[in-house]
Amino acid sequence: MGNSHHVDGRAPVHGFYSSSSWIEGAAVRQLEMVADLDGVRAVAGLPDLHPGKFGPVGCAILADHIHPGFVGSDAGCGMALYQLDLASRRIRVDKAADRLRDVAKPYDGDIAGELAAHELAPSDLDASLGTIGGGNHFCELQAVEQVFDETAGIDRDRAFLLVHSGSRGLGHALLERHVADGLKPLAPDSAEGQSYLVAHDHALRWARLNRDVIARRAASALRCEADPVCECSHNCVVHRSEGVLHRKGAAPSDQGLVVVPGSRGALSYLVAPLATAPKEALWSIAHGAGRKFDRSSMIGRVGATRSDRERLARNPFGGRVICEDRALLAEEAPEAYKPIAGVIADLESFGLARVVASFRPLVTVKKIAVERRHKEDRR
């Protein structure tokens, strides 16, 4: 059932992580603070748990009301995995990296047409459609490391594409509108609650389209086709008969296969959530490795020298990491994250999921430097 504890007057807190999961005390205290809020019914901490803003990341929260802060500033942020009609053995990493670099540039396609085709109303923030964004977002070309379930349809000879991105400016604007007068819960049937949900649902659909456009851009660069394997959101509100479920850096366990990525220097895992998982996990599993060190503490810890930056531009599997922002390269170094093997082991030992396949990173695209204008444009 997990490591559960219940304090009188506080919702139960269920922890699905072992003593070796590197769970900070600050994150546990945040879980307990959330459980102490009026109307919160239960809280589940997952093995990627770490401190965050407005509550810990790597948790699920069941409540009576909508809490925009629990969703955060990137509603709809999530993962999408695609199988490519491209043999992984034919990939030349450096050549693929050169082709995929353009995915980090602004999308120059028909944004209005994409929105219309998916029945999404236009907004002032649509120029970022088809772009990865900053932070821990990425587009990654992968090869199969191992298949554990041959019935899942994973072709070990094919290349795969994993896209991690969200709603970009839409999610940020949504949260800003609802925290301008301070964080407060919203009744689901109130005018304010309904207004939030309409914008929230739009952001989730926009984020899903964003991941799909990124995948199509990457597949086009590699001259292949991409077929979706699975897709989900990590930051969202879900209405259930039991209450309002918030996932704050947590993947759903009731929507089929889920990708749980490691750092950009580690394996990613495709897992099948178990129908027999304890209900205390609140229909959720871990969404990734989870941070071991916060961003600010990574500055100066790694990436200070040229040789160290060159090391970070390669992964232990001989793959490439395209990130031309020195600060971001340090913040997102593999050392900043927990070992993914431990997170996966906890998911298995607590009966939350079983492993279907693992993937190694070949090329990770994050951010490129802003290109200078041509000389003739600067005269």
Sequence-distant (≥ 6) Cβ neighbours of residue 140 within 8 angstroms:
161, 162, 163, 164, 261, 264, 268, 361, 362, 363, 364, 365
CATH number at residue 122: 3.90.1860.10
How much is the pTM? 0.94
Residue 340 half-sphere exposure, CB side, CA atoms within 13 Å? 21
Mean pLDDT of 153-164: 97
Query: pLDDT for 278-295, tens place per residue?
Result: 999 999 999 999 999 999
Angstrom distance (rounded) from CA 335 to CA 344: 18
Amino acid in the structure at residue 160: F
Chain segment 340-357, per-residue pLDDT in tens = 999 999 999 999 999 999
Percent of the chain with pLDDT over 90: 87
pLDDT of residue 252: 98
Q: How confident is the model at residue 261 (pLDDT cuts 50, 70, 90)?
A: very high
Give, in order, the Cα–Cα distances in Å from 299 to each of 49, 57, 199, 287, 295: 22, 21, 35, 25, 7
Looking at residues 6-29, what average pLDDT do you find? 87
User: What's 337's DSSP letter?
Assistant: B
Of 50, 178, 202, 287, the catalytic one is 287
What is the structure's pLDDT at 130?
A: 98
Q: Per-residue pLDDT for 299 more than 90?
A: no
- pLDDT tens, residue by residue, 68-92: 999 999 999 999 999 999 999 999 9
Please tell me the distance from the alpha carbon of residue 184 to that of residue 68, in angstroms, as a whole number: 8
Burial of 318 (0-12, 13-18, 19+ CB in 10 A): exposed
9 has a pLDDT exceeding 70: no
Number of compact structural domains in the chain: 1
* Residue 376: pLDDT over 70: no
- Tokens standing for residue 201: 């649902």
Q: Is 178 a catalytic residue?
A: no
Q: Structural domain of residue 50, as residue ranges?
A: 3-378
Does 105 or 378 have the greater pLDDT score?
105
